[in-house]
Structure 1
Amino acid sequence: PTYTHFLTYAGARGAVIKKVYGESPFELDSDAIMASLSYKTKLVYLVSPNNPTGIVWPASVIARIARTVPQAIVIVDEAYYEFCGESAIALVDTYSNIVVTRTFSKSFGIAGLRVGYMVGPAAVLHDVRRVFNPKSVNVLGQIAAVAALDDLEYLYSYVREVQQAREQLAQWFQERGMTARTTAANYILVQVPHPSTFISLCEEESVYIRDRSSEPQLDGYVRIGVGTVEQCLELCTRFERVLSRMPQLT
């Protein structure tokens, strides 16, 4: 299971999409993806940390993929990079078919302004510019992005707090006998018996989470975003009320 919006665009362009599943969605299975590659492969899409499972793709595995399919572009989506600190950007200088994409929507917190960037070989970026819309990022988004980059100390402080809150929230669910999986990003996965009921009760508490139970290998799982420690404590208070209305969870 992974972020699917990119696949929507690829499919709209007529791409034949081949999804690869390992033995467990929470463990990296590089052999499975290597076995799926061939001379027909045109593009490989990896999300690191993966959304929603949180798997991080090591640079060594990404490099191996790039060497195996030199005719293909390997896109590494690092939307949640700041929360884990591991990146494939250094590989761009060595491999002519690796591209890394990032966003200001997650750790920088300006999702509504739609600002992102790409790091890749000059030849690939040249081709991208041929179809690039120079008006795709509005002036307000540009100003906000520059302001965010001018205050990286705040970013680092926020990321550290999210990492702390992430562990606390996962532990809170685990102490109540529930399966909660922490990730390398700013969310956790929690397995609940009746996801739709759980989500509806959360919405009554003005808590909005993502249902991932329909994804392959993620039966019963919901994804919960993590903010500051203070926000986490408030979340736990509201989750306590939700669980009290679902006796089978307590």
Structure 2
Amino acid sequence: MKWKPILRTMKPYTPGRSLEDVKHTYGLQEVNKLASNENPYGSSPKVAEYLRSKAAQFEIYPDVYTAGLRGKLAEFHQVESNEILFGNGSDEIVTIISRALLQPGTNTVMASITFPQYAHNAKIEGAEIREVAMLENGDHDLEGFLKVADEETAVIWICNPNNPTGNLLSSTAVKKFLDRAPKTALIVLDEAYFEFVTDSSQEDAMKWIHDYDNLIILRTFSKAYGLASFRIGYGVTNADVVSELNKVRNPFNNSSLALAVAEVALEDQEFLQHCVTHNEEERKRYADYAKQHSLAIYPSATNFVLIAVPGDADEACEVLLQNGYIVRSGNLLGVPGFVRVTIGTHEQNTGLFKAFDQLLTN
């Protein structure tokens, strides 16, 4: 078969260990998955109520225009309905953007340590990848982005807050970058974890899309809304960009059930705020734990932390697995010596700290 040659140099996505696998391997009755940045509080109770009371018409294709959710999101964000693009998770929108804009002869700019799907998709499309080293504090080096971007730069990726570090760039810094960035490049502001940001000085970037024709903002229902299994992500940008990207998007890429459930979740902002409040309280506990034990930790604005471990990150993950906690090794994320831990419930985090103590005493 005539596979693209670049595929020989690539590996498929490596998923984390499943709960059942870890239980079986280590003989554990209870295992806590803190590796994929899922919402430990689940989704809105109204979602479960909806699923119990409604029967989907499984023989009917989904609404290709996604009118219901589109209208509610447009109202929620105060944008026009034709300024929204839907994806099967925001991951698919990353793929759509890459397929539409990246090709041999173009280049794409991103941080050296960020969401790996940006580079993954660029490789497949044959574009040159220009990675800019992070600043010492873990922030994107936006000045460095400007230095390497040129007339052949097709896409610039800004993950804010960044995955896997959790760092948040200020609204002021991002706007200054947008003012100076090449107008011929699409600037992707990936805000998958935006809802967890509690800094009151941070602006909602949705209001910027009419100021910058080359800006698209990505959001998702997978994280704070707790709907990861339903795969609903969306991008907001000007209507012309949406029209071009829709030429690449597969029709019926969101299921009817997922679209309906996302509508229900969007309406329950009280539950969302409940999750954000508890997450912030627990996030502070991680910062305190790191300070108490003199461990390096990145300044997270998300529902995960990137925290240092003594010794090898894979070995640390193994010890935590033996204690019933699945976390993500920094060796897989380009940050050796660290593990990425999803911020769980109060009880889960208390147990994680006890397991982590074993790493510090060995």
After TM superposition, list the pairs within 5 Å mapping 1:1-250 onto structure 2. Answer: 1-24=113-136, 26-67=138-179, 68-84=181-197, 86=202, 87-192=204-309, 193-213=311-331, 215-216=333-334, 218-240=335-357, 242-243=358-359, 247-248=361-362
Distance in 2 between the 1:158 and 1:110 partners?
13
2:69 corresponding residue in structure 1: none
Per-residue deviation, 1:82: 0.5
CA contact (8 A) 2:307 2:339 kept: yes
> Is there any run of 5+ residues in structure 1 with no aligned partner, and where?
none
Alignment size in residue pairs: 244
Paired letter, 2:239: A
Asked which structure has the greater CA Rg, the reply is 2
Question: Which of structure 1's runs of 4+ aligned residues deviate more than 3 A?
Answer: 58-67, 213-216
Matched position secondary structure for 2:306: strand
User: What TM-score, normalized to structure 1?
Assistant: 0.89
Distance in 2 between the 1:13 and 1:219 partners?
28
Per-residue deviation, 1:143: 2.2
Deviations 1:163-202 (A, max 9, x none): 1101102312331232233401111111112211110111
> Is there any run of 5+ residues in structure 2 with no aligned partner, and where?
1-112
Per-residue deviation, 1:206: 2.1
Determine which structure has greater relative contact order: mean sequence separation of CA pairs < 8 Å that are 6+ residues apart, divided by chain length.
2
CA contact (8 A) 2:161 2:169 kept: yes
Q: 1:59 to 1:182 in 2, by over 3 A?
A: closer
Distance in 2 between the 1:101 and 1:27 partners?
19
User: What TM-score, normalized to structure 2?
Assistant: 0.63
CA contact (8 A) 2:132 2:141 kept: no
CA contact (8 A) 1:188 1:226 kept: yes
Per-residue deviation, 1:215: 4.8
Once the two structures are overlaid, the 10-residue window that deviates more, 128-137 or 149-158, is 128-137
Matched position secondary structure for 1:93: coil
Distance in 1 between the 2:197 and 2:297 partners?
19
- CA RMSD in angstroms, aligned pairs only: 1.9
Deviations 1:29-56 (A, max 9, x none): 3221121111121110110001112222
Identity of aligned residues (%): 27
